[in-house]
Amino acid sequence: MKTINTKESSRRYRFRGSMGEIELSFDLDNLPGTADSVIVFIPWGNGLITVHNPIRGWEIPGGRLESGESEKDAVLREAYEEAGCRVGEPAKFGQYRFKKGKQSWVMTIALYYAEGLKLEPIPEGSEMVDIEILSLGCLERVVTEHKYNPAMRDKVFTLAIQRLRELGLLPVSER
């Protein structure tokens, strides 16, 4: 299991994105809100696992916490339910929340990293219809290609990838 140093960066960001106003932090001692959802970045081979939702497009696996469920249990469940991937111990590296207009915060999403251990077929009944390994050398295309969920084209994805590279969890560049 990789350990993430929470004191290494206290960067907080606020910007407008496709979801509205977004507040993002990589300082695990000073996170915005309480998470009700998770996203898990899972490296596989020379890329990251993405899943295809026929309505939202290609995205990073994740979803809402079920009643009484911990964030880490949600990561394990969502990685399997959406991608058929068994993962190692999840490590939280950030969190963001968003709101539209003058509404209160709509959703708070915890960002996790977990190593992929075993890839199986997507379970029957999943809302996802396919998986794709997004090459680490092509991560920049996510912000311009419309096949990706608009939430992935916001700065959250770009800043999360940058943070994972700073932590040494993803290579700085593909060679």
Which of 42, 53, 67 has its CA nearest to residue 134? 42
Question: Containing domain of residue 65, as a range?
Answer: 12-164
Distance CA 132, CA 51 (A): 6
Low-confidence ranges of the chain (pLDDT < 50): 1, 3, 6-8, 175
Residue 149, number of CB atoms within 10 A of its CB: 21
Percent of the chain with pLDDT over 70: 93
Residue 14, number of CB atoms within 10 A of its CB: 11
DSSP SS3 for 21: strand
- Report if residue 65 sits inside a domain: yes
- Report if residue 46 sits inside a domain: yes
Q: Which pLDDT score, from 0 to 100, does residue 59 have?
A: 95
Distance CA 20, CA 103 (A): 10
CATH of the domain at 30: 3.90.79.10
- Report if residue 171 sits inside a domain: no
- Report if residue 80 sits inside a domain: yes
- Report if residue 119 sits inside a domain: yes
pLDDT per residue over 63-82, tens digit each? Answer: 999 999 999 999 999 999 99
Q: How many domains are there within the chain? A: 1
Q: Which pLDDT score, from 0 to 100, does residue 8 have?
A: 46
Q: Which pLDDT score, from 0 to 100, does residue 1 have?
A: 45
- Report if residue 6 sits inside a domain: no
What does pTM read for this prediction?
Answer: 0.90
- Report if residue 78 sits inside a domain: yes
- Report if residue 169 sits inside a domain: no
